[in-house]
Amino acid sequence: MEITLESPLDMHLHLRDGDMLKLVAPLSADFAGAVIMPNLVPPVTDPGAMVAYGERIATAMGDSPFTRYMTLFFTKQSEQQLTLAKETPGFFGYKLYPAGITTNSEGGVANLAEAESTLKMMEEMGIPLLIHGESHGFVMDREAEFLGVYKHLAQQFPKLKICMEHITTAAALDLMEEFENLCATVTLQHLIITLDDVAGGALQPHLFCKPIAKRPHDRDALLQAAVSGHPRLMFGSDSAPHPRCKKEACGCAAGVFTAPLALPKLAEIFARHHALDNLQGFVSGNACRIHGLTPAAKHVTLHDTPMNVPTSYRSYGQQVVPMYAGEQISWSIKH
């Protein structure tokens, strides 16, 4: 059994910078393009830095056709600043992080009311808003507590395209049904694991991410929405590489590295649910329709031949451990 995908997209990808970028960028090159996260150190806050970062990504990718949809780290903006960003080649949208909520987000938004003037201008200019939607409450409740913020923004700015990033709960899906200006991305790991997989037995640091994996009924709701072809749900891996020494350590860094195996594992999941016909929409079609994207032309054929996942990837003095390290998954990319 096999399936050929046309221009698959990753709508939420971390590529880091420096030597880590050189290592992980080619491991994402099976995708035709990706929405690139801006939470570097320092964060990417202006178009000049965004263009320079995009050029470093292009160099790291080599000859592989790969469309970079670049984001800027959300801060309060003037109309002139928004106009400059929108007119900069490669710009996709703004990524809003609540201050201190995840990796390298200390400079995020502390008072949402102060951001509303910028959001109003973004609505008028047709600039998408991507949000890491968590509160600072109890870790299992953070997404649920943030849903009220999404609801307020969807009502206050009905023409603003708002993407709820890496949703993890059934409640987030329910909210998306209420507002046409809400869409969402979901990761590979949140279609598969629950909190029990992370911490129910021996702690699994390479499955620890933010938002943290939730309960079985949340996982099952996300999986059902994906395989059934929900028209406003898109694949966003949130593939987040960290050096092995920072994952297997006190103060474990949050992030699951899935880029090299995401497409084969998705094919395995959709095939198991007799839903391969819906995979194209999940990994490209929905995103292209919602955002009007035209990614690089690329065809990726997947087949039900097993793939052995490496125990780690090493290069440029870096080492990262992928999800399913040292295990076998039942689909692979046909080269």
Cα of first residue to Cα of last residue in the chain, in angstroms, is: 15
Q: Are strands 233-235 and 182-186 parallel, antiparallel or unpaired?
A: parallel
Q: How far apart are alpha carbons 148 and 136 in whole angstroms?
A: 14
Q: How far apart are alpha carbons 297 and 62 in whole angstroms?
A: 16
128 preceded by a cis bond (ω within 30 of 0) = no
Q: How far apart are alpha carbons 187 and 175 in whole angstroms?
A: 18
Contact (Cβ atoms closer than 8 angstroms) between residue 320 and residue 243 = yes
| Maximum distance among all Cα pairs of the chain, rounded to whole angstroms | 53
Known active-site residue 238: yes
Name the catalytic one among 10, 30, 218, 238. Answer: 238
Q: How far apart are alpha carbons 96 and 129 in whole angstroms?
A: 7
Residues with catalytic roles: 238
